[in-house]
Structure 1
């Protein structure tokens, strides 16, 4: 039951986040009339919504797998799902920030 609620929360976060980003996009576009000025913030808003929603979905998968009697097969499936979602999260983060998660935000400061 808890896993399903987290799945629902993840879907709601993605949907609401995308709607909010779209509303902000339309508002900015109407004010500026320059697509190039508003496109990047729109993509970043949608990307953030997807990233947060994916966190909820992964948590739901983990809880469902642990709550039901865990078998090697269910844990293996969970590992595959988490690996795919982790790859998606990292890809989205690179797309949003233009750097790997372990890289410094300041290009002058080595890590």
Structure 2
């Protein structure tokens, strides 16, 4: 059982690193596209923010998953569960703030046409 916990801990660490790398790559790719597009006379700062925001959102989701796995595999004391709850609340708030910045509205404020497209995909 101890070995299984060790492997799951390694998996959680790997997922954390994947989340960090996702944010880092999204930053590099977004900035690269912005610089190249600026040279050809194209994209705006708003598009850069949207691309960067989407990368950060994806990275935050991956980091939340890693935190949940890491907390579940360890002994779930009340202190660890409360810490996880605070981390998830902070990251959820960040995700909602970034979503509001990118889309200009909250996720639950979608129109009927957008909801239909989501269900079809």
Matched residue of 2:75: which SS? coil
- Aligned-CA RMSD value: 1.5
Q: Which residue, out of 51, 54, 68, partners 1:48?
A: 54
**Shift, 1:50, TM fit:** 0.5
Q: Gapped runs of 5+ residues in structure 1?
A: 107-111
Decide which structure has greater helix share: 2
Q: State the partner residue of 1:6.
A: 15
How many residues align? The count is 104
Moved over 2 A (4+): none
- The answer to whether the aligner puts 1:88 opposite 2:94 as a matched pair is yes
Matched residue of 2:17: which SS? helix
- After TM superposition, list the pairs within 5 Å mapping 1:1-111 onto structure 2: 1-32=10-41, 37-105=43-111
Which TM-score applies when normalising by structure 1? 0.89
**Shift, 1:100, TM fit:** 1.1
Q: Gapped runs of 5+ residues in structure 2?
A: 1-9, 113-121
